[in-house]
Amino acid sequence: MRQVLVVHYSQTGQLGRLVQSVCAPLLARDDVQLDFLAVQPATPYPFPWPFLTFFSIFPETVLMRPEPLQPLQVDANKRYDLVILAYQVWFLSPSRPITSFLASPEATRLLRDTPVVTLIGCRNMWLMAQEKLKARLDALGARLLDNIVLTDACGSAASFLATPLWMFTGRQQPFSWLPKAGISEAEIADAQRFGVAIGERLAQGGPMEQPMLRGLGAVRIDEKLIASERVGTRSFKAWGTLLAALGPQHSLRRRAGLIVYIVFLLSLILTVVPVTALLKKLLSPLTRARIQREKAYFAAPSGE
């Protein structure tokens, strides 16, 4: 019997459905035992989010500072053949409950010398979050075998508005003229193919050392977002450090700083981002080879 642990945190329920889809073929097998660990913060996050509360967690999220969690319902001394780690992306970083789990003593024991498959459900920008997660997994002695990423169906431009409105209203399509936010249900259902491939590899026995999902389109790299993610991550870290220094999460100084930051962020999106996109398009003939190398790197280990 092969032992698999599925670690996940889902706020809206979308990532939970994605986890269920990927795991359905594994649950149907007699030779695989699945344990599920739903990570929950000690103080649950609201949904939908109040506007300033949403941004108030920005500094601790981008700085990957752990928070107290509810007791983890898992036997941390059990040895697993595989861990599936499912997470959302918050502010170009893994969600704070997941980074808090990775900082826990239980994660230290569970992930040491253990193969891991990461499963991401997000708007569209996940490259730098995965880089941060890879560093944490490496520090814990885990082995990343594969990465699965599903992103919002409405496209990058529309999701700038659609996804925040989902967070603030609790509705995926609060207005009829706006595309529905989130991953399409058809794509979520189709994710079962990854579970089928994982189940077939588990049935072969032996140590799991090579990617299982190559050729299945587990990830898609949008080359237009690579530079934006790098710039955004550096900016987020600088602002996160500054805002954290202003005071605790709900202090008046932190809130005042957040208002300044939100104005700055909106100005950046409306001015610098379009100009940067235009420059990248004009320079693309000169940078094509480098971009292809970067796409191959970020697509690893599963590949596009």
Res 161: pLDDT: 86
Helical (H) or strand (E) element with 2: strand 2-8
The pLDDT of residue 291 is 84
Question: Over its length of 304 residues, how does the chain's per-residue pLDDT go in tens digits?
Answer: 999 999 999 999 999 999 999 999 999 999 999 999 999 999 999 999 999 899 999 999 999 999 999 999 999 999 999 999 999 999 999 999 999 999 999 999 999 999 999 999 998 899 999 999 999 999 999 999 999 999 998 777 788 788 989 999 999 888 888 889 999 999 999 999 999 999 999 999 988 999 999 999 999 998 888 888 888 899 999 999 999 999 998 899 999 999 999 998 888 777 766 777 677 777 777 777 888 889 999 999 999 8
Instruction: From residue 69, give the alpha-carbon distance in Å to each of 40, 119, 185.
Output: 6, 21, 30
Q: Please name the residues in contact with 109: beta carbons below 8 A apart, sequence gap of 6 or more.
A: 76, 77
* Burial classification of residue 63, based on how many CB atoms lie within 10 Å of its CB (0-12 exposed, 13-18 middle, 19 or more buried): middle
Query: If you write DSSP's letter for every residue of 121-133 in order, what string do you get?
Result: EESS--HHHHHHH
| Inter-CA distances, 236 with 35, 87, 147, 190, Å | 35, 19, 24, 34
The pLDDT score that the predictor gives to residue 243 is 95
Residue 204: both structure tokens together: 């072969």
Largest separation between any pair of C-alpha atoms in the chain? 58
Structure tokens at 249: 């999460």
Amino acid at 186: A
Paired residues of 38 in beta bridges: 8
pTM of the predicted structure, to 2 decimals: 0.93
- Here the contacts of 185-193 (C-beta below 8 Å, separation 24 or greater) are 185/17, 187/150, 187/153, 188/14, 188/17, 188/18, 188/21, 188/150, 189/21, 190/21, 191/18, 191/21, 191/22, 191/148, 191/150, 192/21, 192/22, 192/24, 192/25
DSSP symbol at 41: B
Tell me the DSSP string of 226-276: HHHHHHHHHHHHHHHHHHHHH-STT-HHHHHHHHHHHHHHHHHHHHHHHHH
